[in-house]
Amino acid sequence: MGRAPIAIAQQGKPVQFSGLTLTSDSMSVVPFATILVKNRFKGTVSDLKGFFSMVLLPGDSLVFSAVGYRASTFVMPDRLDEKFYSVLVPMERDTVDLPAAVIYPWPSKEAFRQEFLALELKDDATSIARRNLEKDLLVQLASAMSMDASENQKLYMQKVIAQTYYAGGQQPFAQFGGPNAFPIPSTLLSPGAWTQFFQALRRGDFRRKD
């Protein structure tokens, strides 16, 4: 309960009850406070400046309430000689913890399910990365790319090995007719090799031996 209101008697009966709803700490105005008369289904609301006024009977019990403030009660005196009665109603601040409320745009779970299934989701980073790593796409991109220095060196060495194989295991000395011509073994262009060949021919090294 809040602090008891300060009553100021003025005149007569029945009583015109009026007053101000204020904060208990700084006496600031509490606007739109609700004032209810217990057991009589009667009440009023204070205005923007905290003022209220209503007709009451002696002995009426009132409850003052406002959002963010504790409820305060006041009981009219049983004997009043005046027609007017004014009070200042101090109200103590209160903290109210309200439960969390989640507002959904769908009236039911079934409506949410239909909307969710019809939703066209955009690709996320994972989907984009997975699509970029597809085998067909990688092959297509690789075929369109030029070779780097390492790949060029590897290709050149493969050609040298192939040419050596076709030349009978001898490193080619020269090529005639462009880069795709058949390599000529170095022994065919060596004068020393030709001299040894003719000497063996004179000795009869190549004659058939029966």
Domain ranges of the chain: 6-91, 158-203
pTM: 0.43
Q: What is the pLDDT of residue 31?
A: 95
Q: What is the pLDDT of residue 135?
A: 75
Q: What is the pLDDT of residue 111?
A: 85
Query: How many CA atoms are closer than 13 Å to the CA of 24, on its beta-carbon side?
Result: 16
Torsion angle of the four alpha carbons 96, 99, 105, 109, in this order, in degrees rounded to the nearest 10 = -160
Q: What is the pLDDT of residue 44?
A: 95
Angle, CA 194 vertex, CA 192 and CA 196 arms, to 5°: 70
- Pairing type for strands 184-185 and 172-174 reads antiparallel
Q: What is the pLDDT of residue 87?
A: 93
- For residue 10, give both structure tokens: 């003025």
Choose the CATH number for 6-91 among 3.30.2130.10, 2.60.40.1120, 1.10.10.10, 3.40.720.10.
Answer: 2.60.40.1120
Q: What is the pLDDT of residue 180?
A: 57
* CB of 70 closer than 8 Å to CB of 90: no
132 φ, ψ to 5°? -70, -20
User: What is the mean pLDDT for each group of 10 consecutive residues in the chain (210 residues)?
Assistant: 49 80 93 92 93 92 93 88 90 86 82 81 73 74 75 78 60 54 58 76 72
**Distance from C-alpha of 31 to C-alpha of 87, rounded to nearest angstrom:** 16
